[in-house]
Amino acid sequence: MKLKDISTGEVVGMRYAMAMAAVEAGTHEIVNEGEPAREERVGAEPGGEGEGDDAGGDANHGGDLDGMTKDELLAVAKERGLNAKPAMSKAEILAALRSAE
């Protein structure tokens, strides 16, 4: 994922979980070219013009889980308070996320 450092303007690459933490902290912004930001794809952008049901919160990831990398799935599992470990397979993490919905 490509992000721009707000203070320096430098574009850097980060993994999903780190990138989301930097965006939430307000130090970086997403600049992936040719691809909408994850927030836009799952409807989490302020203003409510995205896809999905805002009442579901993180449940908006439900239809998008199959397209996520293992690291992204681990980050979502952590956000949802699940005990997913890096040693688990992608399929095991997916199953844990789906059973918790």
Establish if 68 belongs to a structural domain: yes
Judge contact between 15 and 37, C-beta under 8 A: no
The token pair at 69 is 């990398």
Place 89 in a pLDDT band, splitting at 50, 70 and 90. Answer: very high
Find the domain containing 70 and state its range.
54-101
* Domain tally, the chain: 1
How large is the angle between the packed helices 90-100 and 70-79, nearest 10 degrees? 30
Establish if 71 belongs to a structural domain: yes
Q: Which of 42, 45, 43 is nearest to 23 (CA)?
A: 45
Establish if 39 belongs to a structural domain: no
- Residues 6 or more apart whose CB falls under 8 angstroms from that of 79 comprise 58
Name the pTM for this structure: 0.41
- Residues 6 or more apart whose CB falls under 8 angstroms from that of 75 comprise 16, 17, 20
The whole-angstrom separation of Cα 60 and Cα 70 is 18
The per-residue pLDDT for range 15-62, each reduced to its tens digit, is: 888 888 888 888 888 886 555 544 444 444 444 444 444 334 444 445
Establish if 42 belongs to a structural domain: no
Establish if 63 belongs to a structural domain: yes
